[in-house]
Amino acid sequence: MTAPASPTKVRGETILAVDDLVKHFPIRRGVLLQRQVGAVKAVDGVSFELRRGETLGVVGESGCGKSTLARLLMRLETPTAGRATLEGRDLFSASGAELRRLRRNMQMVMQDPYTSLNPRMTVGDIIGEPFEIHPDAAPKGSRQTRVRELLDVVGLNPEHINRYPHQFSGGQRQRIGIARALALRPEIIVCDEPVSALDVSIQAQVINLLEKLQDEFGLSYIFIAHDLSVVRHISDRVAVMYLGKIVEIGTEDEIYERATHPYTQALLSAVPVPDPEARDRRTMIRLTGDVPSPADPPSGCNFRTRCWKAQEVCAVEEPHAVPRAADPHPSACHFAALRPTP
Amino acid sequence: MSQSAVHPTPASPTPEGGHLLDVRDLHVEFRTGEGVAKVINGVSYHLDPGETLAVLGESGSGKSVTAQAIMGILDTPPAVIRSGEVRYQGRDLLKLPEEQRRQVRGKEIAMIFQDALSALNPVFPVGWQVGETLRQREGMSKADARARVVELMDLVRIPGAARRLGDYPHQFSGGMRQRVMIAMALAMNPRVLIADEPTTALDVTVQAQIMDLLADLRRDLDMAMILITHDLGVVAGVADRIAVMYAGRIVEHADVHSLYRAPAHPYTKGLLESIPRLDVRGQELSTIRGLPPNLMRIPSGCPFHPRCPYAQQVCVDVVPHDLVLDDGRTSACHFAQEVRDDSAR
């Protein structure tokens, strides 16, 4: 199996560019004449670039919009505004044959390996289904061979092609999901919490598999997860989301060692570290209160209601994710600063 | 930090009935249409006043079933308690009639669960639910119960407790619902609190708040706590001692510091090496090969042997007993000393 051949594929060039992407879900009232009374701002102006062969981690707490972002990129939702280009082609205006072609290049691995596989289909049919929609990807006669090949690539026994999903464990099912995503030889795979439903000892196996496949096929990943340790391990660059916006984005090192946004700092300090000796050494930033509703986000900086640095300007002026004096990576905070080392 | 030194190490001899809670050689199986699943195969652990014991294991390891057996809330059938004792203050709870068992449940030992949304009743206000035990079992008047509920909700730091008594579970956030459930568990001043994955469904910042709250409550109310979890990070933050479960047995039992410093069971060692860490930048993760066993067909000898890098013929033939190491820890591995020496390196 080889990556789609094209002479112009350079590792590190931008493959996907997302510009000011917005998704508002309308809130409607009334029975017959529904009128819109508001909107849940699930994704509210997100911009980033994905480079060929890299993993971009997207972290954030529940409700921050990271899964909606994934669904938008897969065109499972229609954006309210914004642009995205995949290898220079507009992702959202494409339709018909053009859309099918784009979709083939971008596949998804879902969180729940139990509900994302049809229990009535054999593993062979599940992995081979993309070929029904894209018959040119594998001629009919060679499909069986291709599916066996895919099973082998993800570390499953090709002999099990006629088994059903319930005959596999959670980790194995996630491998089936990965094989299905690989079937059309995409260049980008969007992974939405791919290991969070798995046990610790199985997580590592799936993470290693994803890394191996990336090296082998030059894949680019958008890796969405709430587990900051997993994201650090797998990502080259990381975007931190809060209430539908990217508050900070940078290399793995910039985010984990030199974060300048208070939310990133608080998030990192709250992650439990498997080392009892660190109990007294680490100081945790304790955020008070809950995440505000995305239907009614605070004015200005939407983190200000929980931020210990908040001043008057934060309520008035929205900070943009731009390079800051404290560290040259984009951070959406008026008072961006490195966390003093204790 | 040094709390663990105050409590006797797991293997040190203690006088008969000396522990607050003492689970001894518990065996539980589930009889289903497909066969008999041996879910708990000889679990023993104990808890002393004021300490925090973490029970760590992956899904199917039997950590929750043990807790349900202690609480007396196992569904029987399909579950059958084959043998063993659950001694609380010297009395074997498993031999008590249901009426007396009820007196222990909630009042002496209380439990909180992972999923607060499904543990709370959606059609009653939370104040009513927290006060239910007070009215039913303590015979409090409505007004007294109400006052106590406000006290409890303040204790678990629910802002504006008095105003929120009439709110329904869906009007609370995940973290706040977990607080409501904790308030409910504390209503009758239990001496033991069993927390079954209390923060698994929560976001990391909220998880930190709840773990803080539990640690503070445990100290202020002088409770003992059993924390059931799969998260090695959460355990490292709060536990004094840790019992690691695999296939219905405790494979390693140690104070938390020595276990993280140098695990003495290959399973614990494998777990610690396979988690990505925030504080350490890693290369390829090491993995535990294979899958946890089917509890209807547990492997012979040591149940971990098909996945174990240390396995020899003896592991296939002989069930390892708890080996007591020189520092008082126990490990159910034929090569415990060797594994620990390897880990310490």
pLDDT at A81 (0 to 100): 94
Using a CB–CB cutoff of 8 Å, tell me whether A257 touches chain B: no
pLDDT at A9 (0 to 100): 65
Closest partner residue to B233 (CB to CB) among A171, A203, A271 is A271
Q: Can you give chain A as a three-state secondary structure string?
A: CCCCCCCCCCCCCEEEEEEEEEEEEEEEECCCCCEEEEEEEEEEEEEEEEECCCEEEEECCCCCCHHHHHHHHCCCCCCCEEEEEECCEECCCCCHHHHHHHHHCEEEECCCCCCCCCCCCCHHHHHHHHHHHCHHHCCHHHHHHHHHHHHHHCCCCHHHHHCCHHHCCHHHHHHHHHHHHHCCCCCEEEEECCCCCCCHHHHHHHHHHHHHHHHHHCCEEEEEECCHHHHHHHCCEEEEEECCEEEEEEEHHHHHHCCCCHHHHHHHHHCCCCCHHHHCCCCCCCCCCCCCCCCCCCCCCCCHHHCCCCCHHHHHCCCCCEECCCCCCEECCCCCCCCCCC
Residue in chain B nearest A227 by alpha carbon: B204
pLDDT at B282 (0 to 100): 61
Please give the structure tokens belonging to residue B72: 């007396």
pLDDT at A342 (0 to 100): 55
Backbone φ/ψ region at A31: left (φ over 0), alpha (ψ -120 to 50), beta: alpha
Its pTM stands at 0.85
pLDDT at A5 (0 to 100): 44
pLDDT at A188 (0 to 100): 95
pLDDT at A30 (0 to 100): 80
Using a CB–CB cutoff of 8 Å, tell me whether B284 touches chain A: yes
**Distance from A24 to chain B by nearest Cα, in Å?**
22
pLDDT at A196 (0 to 100): 85
Closest partner residue to A61 (CB to CB) among B203, B211, B286 is B203
Q: Do A233 and B236 touch (CB under 8 A)?
A: no
pLDDT at B281 (0 to 100): 65
Q: Do B203 and A62 touch (CB under 8 A)?
A: yes
**Distance from B142 to chain A by nearest Cα, in Å?**
30
Mean pLDDT per 10-residue segment, chain B (345 residues): 39 57 93 89 93 91 92 87 91 90 90 85 92 88 90 88 89 87 91 91 85 90 93 90 94 93 93 83 78 88 93 92 87 92 84
Ranges of residues in chain A with a pLDDT under 70 are 1-10, 341-342
pLDDT at A141 (0 to 100): 83
Q: Which of residues 179-218 of B touch A (CB under 8 A)?
A: 203-209, 211-212
Among candidates A199, A246, A200, A208, which has minimal Cα distance to A56?
Answer: A246
pLDDT at A292 (0 to 100): 86
Residue with structure tokens 């010297």?
Answer: B90
pLDDT at B6 (0 to 100): 38
ipTM > 0.90, yes or no: no
What does the CA dihedral B329, B331, B336, B340 come to, rounded to 10 degrees?
-50
Contact status, residue A338 vs residue A327, Cβ threshold 8 Å: yes
Q: Do A229 and B278 touch (CB under 8 A)?
A: yes
